[in-house]
Amino acid sequence: MSVISCLRLSSLRNNIISPTKCLFTVQREMGGHGGPKKMVITASRWQWHKYKDLLHFYTMLGLIPLGTLVFAINVFIGPAKLAPIPEDYIPKNWEYYHHPISRFLARFLYPSHQQDYEKYLHFIYEENEKKQMRLLETKVKELMAERGDSQAFYYRPILTKYHRFVRKVYDDLDDTRGY
């Protein structure tokens, strides 16, 4: 749509024309069968267009490449066959899964079951050590509270500085007054 402004022309002719009357658009009447062009008020089709956008996006990026990858893996590599463990052989941790994708993930991405188990045992051991120490501390505190014989937790020391101050005051009074 081409926009024509008449402000430039009006400045040459020194006519004051308000801007609201100046901007008008030129529209081509092609064919002209429908009559003058109208602005049709319809409900928004934005959600439908957005849905199509997302559908195309996820199909092109996800469904087709990943689908062909998974199809190729299943057809050309295929799942493993169950076999008894041979003598004197310790299987690697990824050889305990049958699907090739699970084997890949177990081999390169996930920690092994043995690693997880040993970490768990170590964690339990450490927490148990802390628990035993806390139990011991609680027992010692209880005994100190019960017996009150050690100069540690429940001992209230006798401060003598106030006694000394009071005695000094009395001594000074004795010196000055005589009684």
Task: Report whether 30 contacts 13 (CB < 8 A).
Answer: no
CB of 126 to other proteins, least distance (A): 10
Classify residue 86 by its DSSP letter. Answer: P
**Residue closer to other proteins (CB basis): 131 or 164:** 131
78 binds other proteins (CB under 8 A): yes
CB of 131 to other proteins, least distance (A): 9
Q: CA–CA distance from 150 to each of 82, 147, 156, 157 (Å)?
A: 69, 8, 11, 11
Cα(101)–Cα(103) distance, integer angstroms: 5
Q: Which helix (H) or strand (E) holds 106?
A: helix 100-108
**Residue closer to other proteins (CB basis): 57 or 120:** 120
Cα(44)–Cα(61) distance, integer angstroms: 28
68 binds other proteins (CB under 8 A): no
Which region among 4-12, 14-22, 62-70, 76-84 touches other proteins (by CB under 8 A)?
76-84
83 binds other proteins (CB under 8 A): yes
Cα(111)–Cα(107) distance, integer angstroms: 8
**What letter represents residue 132's amino acid?**
Q
Positions 119 through 138 that interact with other proteins (CB under 8 A): 121, 124-125, 128, 132
**Residue closer to other proteins (CB basis): 130 or 177:** 130
**Residue closer to other proteins (CB basis): 49 or 98:** 98
Contacts of residue 82, defined as CB under 8 A and 6 or more positions apart, other chains included, come to 98
Q: Could you give the string, one character per residue 93-112, with x where binding to other proteins holds by CB under 8 A and - elsewhere?
A: --xxxx----x---------
CB of 63 to other proteins, least distance (A): 21
